[in-house]
Each structure stands twice: as C-alpha cells, then as structure tokens.
Structure 1
Amino acid sequence: MKLHDRVFLLLGGTGGIGKALVEPLILAGAKVIVASRHPETLAHISGASAVHLDLAGPDLEGQLERLTEAYPEIDGVIHCAGQNRFASLDKLSVSAIDAQITVNLRSAMLVGRHFAPRFQRAGYGALVFVGSTFGSIGFPGYTAYCATKFGLRGFSEALRRELADTPVQIIYVAPRATATAMNPEAVNELNRALGNSMDPPERVAGEILKAMENNDRRRFLGWPEKLFVIINGILPRIVDKAMLKQLPVIRRFLNSGVSS
C-alpha cells in the first residue's frame, strides 16, 4: 500500500499508539483526519485535521455518515482506539465491561460496516485494525479486554476473507505490551516483575506503517510473544502451565488496589 496522497481517518489518534502515528503518516505524504470526542483540544499539526467522533456513542452510525459526507476523500481507516481495565472479573463493573465492548469491538465492527462498501465502490481502500497479543492469548486480569480483542481479531479475519475478491485491504496488527498512559502503574510494575518487554508507542507505530506498506494481512509484534501466540494456538496447556506459575505474582498486583 502506498501511503503518499492517501487520506486516513485515524481513530484513537489522541494518545499512545495513535498519537505516535500522526507525524509518520504525514511525513509519508498522507493526509490524516484525527477523530476525537474533543477535537478542540488537539494541537494544530500541518497535514492533519481534527474532527468530532464519539466511538462510544449510540449514534455512531449517524456520526460516520456525517463524517464521510464532510470528507468523501477518505480512503483508509486506522482503528487503534481502545480501553482496558486491569482487574479480576468480579471487580469489573458492568459499565467497565460495556465500555470495553463498545469501544474495542462494537465501534470497529460499525466502522468496517460503514467503510467497506464505500471502498468497494471506489475500487480501493484499506481498513487497519490494531489489536493485541491479548487477542490471541487470554491473560489473567484482562478477561473483558481479551474478549474484545479476541473478537476484533476474529472480526478482521472474517471480514478480510469476506472481501478477499475485492480491492479492499484488511490489515490486523497485534502489538505486545506498550508503554502508554492507558496502563496504570500496577501494570507497569507487573510487567517489570514478570520480565515482560514494553515497546514505546513510536516503535509500534513504525511496525503498523510497515504492515501497511508491505500489504501484510496480519502482523504480530514482539519476541517471544509471537512464539507464545503460536504455542497457545497449538498447545495451550503449555501456556496454561506457564501462567499458573506466574499467577501468584499477577494476583499480587491485581489485588494491590492500585488499579481498582
């Protein structure tokens, strides 16, 4: 996929991975439309526009209609918006579960439903979904998050196969742990205690661009995380045993109260 002269709608572009994507996309010659619930708070960047979009809104379909009427030139969407909550299932409120389902999965499905037929009619277009290693490996303390990311991975795979005979590109990128403000300190401490590597958002953004430029269908980031994804798919008992050994450490941070 050539990025030059493309017009990308960036969802989740106000922080973390999304924010790190804006400048590289512009430098590659693309125009970026950053969607946010509060576009007035975004700093002005040459080559980027800010628009209002509430992915958690019940009227998301109508918002997308109005957005594409205002910006009919959009020919790519990068969905990297997300919410998570590090907590045991019994400590998760219903509202926290609903929020993760709505932003992480429902919004991606509605975005795909809205743009895929438009891109088909145009004869080109790309939908890029940013998932997670936790979309392939269930991890204690992230039951709801894993459920939504497993769903996102399945959705993008099914949609890619549904559109396999069309010019629409569907790309799924799964980062490992990433150092963003979305992580509470308990999660950072847990990753340090377990020896898990955390990538800076800029590195993840670079990998997303590589996946787009190389027309990858899917890209999993990080080693040994990529290996664990394969093992978990073939011999999940091995990962079960490894996580059982880690469970006392995980529970120590999970129940610390820092992220409650």
Structure 2
Amino acid sequence: MQLRDRTFLLLGGTGGIGRALIEPLQAAGARLVVASRSQPVLPLPDCDWVQLDLAAANLGAELARVSEQHPLIDGVIHCAGQNRFCRLDALAMADWQQLMAVNLTSAFAVSAHFVPRFRERGQGALVFVGSTFGSIGFPGYSAYCATKFGLRGFTEALRRELADTPIDVLYVAPRATQTTMNPGAVDALNQALGNRVDPPETVARDIVDTMVRSQTRRYLGWPERFFVMLNGLLPRLVDQAMRRQLPVIQRFLMTEGSK
C-alpha cells in the first residue's frame, strides 16, 4: 500500500497506539486527520484534528461532517477502543453497550460511510486494530473479547466482500500493550503470568509495516501468534492452560472488582 501523499483519518489518535502511529505515518509521507472525542491535551504535530464520538447515536451524520471538512480522505485507521477487565456479573449493561458501540458498531458505521466514497475515488483503505483477544477468549475479558472477535469476523467478511474493488481491508492484532487503557490490576496480572507487554511505539511501527506490505491480517508477538493458531485448531489445550492460570486471574479480578 502506498502511503505517501495519502490522507488517513486516524480514529483514536490522541492516546496509546493511535498517538504512537502519528510519527511513523508522517515519516512514510501520509497526511493525517486525527479524530477523538475530546480535544487533545498535547499538540498534534502537523495534523488536522476533528471531534468525533464513536459512541454517538448520530455517528453517521458526524462522519458526513468529517468527510465534508476533509474530502481528500482516502483511508481510515480504526485504532480507537475501550476495555474492561472484570467478572461478568460486575459488568453493567451500560458498560457492555459502550464497549460494543466503540469497539465494534463504530467499525461498521465507518465502513458503511467510506466504502461508497472510496469506490468513487478508485482507491481506499480500511485498517482495523484488533487484539489477540479477538482470537483467544480470556477470563475477565468476556465483553472485550466479544467485541474483538466480532471485529475480526467483520473485517474478514468485509475484505472478501470487497475483493474485486480497489479498497484494501487490513486487520492487525497486537498482544498486550503498555497503554493507559490498562488498569493497575491488568499490569500486575501480566507481570504475574509472565506475559510480554509491548510499548505502543513498537506496535505502531508494526502496523505501518503491515500497511506498507498490504498484509491483510497480522498477529503481533510470539508466542501469542502460536496460541492464536493453537486455539483455532485445538481449543481444548488452551482451555487446559487457562484453567491452570485461573486462580491467579481470579485473584486480580477480585482486586479490580473491589475498586
């Protein structure tokens, strides 16, 4: 995928992985329109900023406003997301709906809005940042996994639906990443389990590399890539491994739930 002189709408570009994407994308020659729910605290270097709430009931109208303001957009990077680490019975329905809106429903809305426009332009790209937990169900992340499993399935179907068009559909799944989205209990859990955690800058470079290579799907990190394959082929083995880890996970779940 050619990045130079293209204009990308970067969703979730003011924090975590999204913020880290700005520099490598610009270094590759891309122009950026950064969207977030609230105005960024830190200045965005050489970027346009637009306000956009991905959980808004009128998201379609808001996307139309963004397109009118920035008609040269020919790519979208969906890097926005929310997370909750808690027991199922501790998750309020409002939290479930918020996760679904931001992590999954917005991906559909963004695609439905931009696909016809990209068809007319004769060029377009939809890049979705998923998660290893979009392929491996993990205790304490039932709602988050649901949204990310859904995102993975959505992008797979959409890519096949648009296979005869000039629109690229890419899916990148990072493993655990050092972002403020993770509460202290999650950081402690990763340390207790020995999980490797990537800095957002590393993940951002891998996402840009995936775009340059036009790699349709990519899972980041080892042995996480192996466990994704194993869970698809022999899920019972992963069940057994998770069962052994469950007492440790439950300890941190109780810590998080008590806050």
Q: How would you bin the TM-score normalised by the shorter chain?
A: over 0.9
Q: Distance in 1 between matches of 2:44 and 2:6?
A: 20
SS in 1 for 2:99: helix
**Offset of 1:70 from its aligned partner?**
1.1
**Offset of 1:36 from its aligned partner?**
1.2
Q: Which runs of 4+ in 1 moved over 6 A?
A: none
Matched residues, number: 259
**Offset of 1:44 from its aligned partner?**
3.9
Q: Distance in 2 between matches of 1:155 and 1:259?
A: 35
Instruction: Structure 2 unaligned segments of length 5 or more: list them.
Output: none
2:79–2:128 Cα contact (<8 Å) kept: yes
1:152 aligns with 2:151: yes
Written as runs of structure 1 = structure 2, the 5 A alignment for 1:20-169 is: 20-39=20-39, 41-46=41-46, 48-169=47-168
**Offset of 1:45 from its aligned partner?**
1.2
Q: Aligned AA for 1:55? A: L
2:90–2:257 Cα contact (<8 Å) kept: no
SS in 1 for 2:255: coil
Q: Deviations over 1:60-94 (max 9, x none)?
A: 00000111011110010000100000001000011
SS in 1 for 2:8: strand
Q: Aligned AA for 2:179? A: T
Which residue number in structure 2 is paired with residue 238 of structure 1?
A: 237
TM-score, normalised to structure 2, is 0.98
Across the aligned residues of Structure 1 and Structure 2, the Cα RMSD in angstroms comes to 1.1
Q: Aligned AA for 1:143? A: S
Q: Deviations over 1:164-213 (max 9, x none)?
A: 00010000000000010100010000000000000000000001001100
Q: Distance in 2 between matches of 1:170 and 1:204?
A: 18
2:85–2:256 Cα contact (<8 Å) kept: no
The structure-2 alpha-carbon separation of the partners of 1:44 and 1:190, relative to structure 1 and needing over 3 Å to count, comes to closer
Q: Aligned AA for 2:227? A: F
Q: Distance in 1 between matches of 2:44 and 2:177?
A: 26
Instruction: Structure 1 unaligned segments of length 5 or more: list them.
Output: none
Q: Deviations over 1:24-72 (max 9, x none)?
A: 11111111100012236451412x1111111010000000011101111
Q: Distance in 2 between matches of 1:258 and 1:87?
A: 6
